[in-house]
Amino acid sequence: MIKVQIFRNTNNEIYKFIVYDHGDSIVCSAVSILVLNTINSVENFTDERFECDYNEDGGFIECRFPGIENGVHSHDVNLLLNSMLLGIQSIDMEYRNNILITDEEV
C-alpha cells in the first residue's frame, strides 16, 4: 500500500509531503508520475526553494518547502501541490485499498 502524508502550515497550505511504500504497479506508477511531475513543475515554473530526499530505488520521497512552512504564501506552488493531492485522491477513489492518505490539516 502506498502511503502519502501531507503536512500543512497555519494557513492550511501544504509545506511538506512524504510518499512511501509500494502498491499495485499501475497505482504506484500513477502516483509516481504525479509526484515527479509536481516536483519538476515547481522547479521549472516557480522560484520556490525546496528540499527533497528520496530513495534512488524508489519507494520513498519527501519534499519540504521551508518558505511555505514559515507562512510565506506561494500561489503557484500551492496550486501545484493541491493539484498533485487532487490527482492522488482521484486515484485513491478508483483503486480503493491501495493508497493511504494522511492530511495533517491545521
What's residue 57's pLDDT? 82
Residue 104: all three cell numbers together: 495533517
Q: Could you count the other beta carbons within 10 Å of the beta carbon of residue 48? A: 17
Residue 63: all three cell numbers together: 519534499
* Beta-bridge partner residues of 61: 19, 54
What is the per-residue pLDDT across 46-105, written as a single tens digit (0 to 9) for each? Answer: 999 999 999 988 799 999 999 999 999 999 999 999 999 999 999 999 998 899 999 987
Q: Could you count the other beta carbons within 10 Å of the beta carbon of residue 74? A: 18
What is the per-residue pLDDT across 5-63, written as a single tens digit (0 to 9) for each? Answer: 999 999 999 999 999 998 789 999 999 999 999 999 999 999 999 999 999 887 999 99
Q: Into how many domains does the chain fold? A: 1
What is the domain range of residue 100? 2-104
Taking the whole predicted model, whether its pTM rises above 0.85 is answered as: yes
- Write the CATH number for 7: 3.30.70.1490
Give, as one character, the DSSP assignment of residue 88: H
